[in-house]
Amino acid sequence: MTILTRTTAALTTVLLVGCGALAAQTGQGGAPVACRVDATRTAHGLVVEGVATALAPVSGSYALSVDGPGTRLNQGGPLVLAAGETATLGRVTLGGNAARADATLTLQIGGRTFVCPRT
């Protein structure tokens, strides 16, 4: 069970300011996936994960980018999901001043780009 305090919620909100929401948030507008960026405070820092659930079979690629003071991380790769399948697409643990970082998960599927919202 994860318990979020007001401080953690505020840090998470500031951390993920750079994440825009498109149709991929809930699979609206014909988006074949629902996706999001999750942030969870742990004893070792803040864990940022990209998560996607396919509403139909999909293939393409993903990119998780995290930028902040002294931090610039990029993870990415192929994306292949069966209908109903959920996958973690990239995982980063940040320590120190994570409150000033931005995270973005972008999916490329069928020639379309989806930028996933923060949670």
Q: What pLDDT was estimated at residue 3?
A: 38
Q: What pLDDT was estimated at residue 41?
A: 82
For residue 89, what is the domain's CATH number?
2.60.40.2420
1 contacts: CB under 8 Å, gap ≥ 6 = none
Q: Structural domain of residue 75, as residue ranges?
A: 6-116
What are the backbone angles phi and psi of residue 52, rounded to the nearest 5°? -135, 140
| pLDDT tens-digit map of 12-42 | 333 333 333 334 444 546 789 999 999 888 8
pLDDT per residue rounded down to tens, the chain (119 residues): 333 333 333 333 333 333 333 344 445 467 899 999 998 888 878 889 999 999 999 999 999 998 876 788 999 999 999 999 999 999 998 886 566 668 899 999 999 999 998 77
Q: What pLDDT was estimated at residue 96?
A: 64
Domain count, the chain: 1
Q: What is the dihedral of CA 92, 93, 94, 95, to 10 degrees?
A: -170
Q: What pLDDT was estimated at residue 87?
A: 97
Residue pair 23/113 in contact (Cβ under 8 Å)? The answer is no
1 within a domain of the structure (yes/no): no
Q: What pLDDT was estimated at residue 17?
A: 34
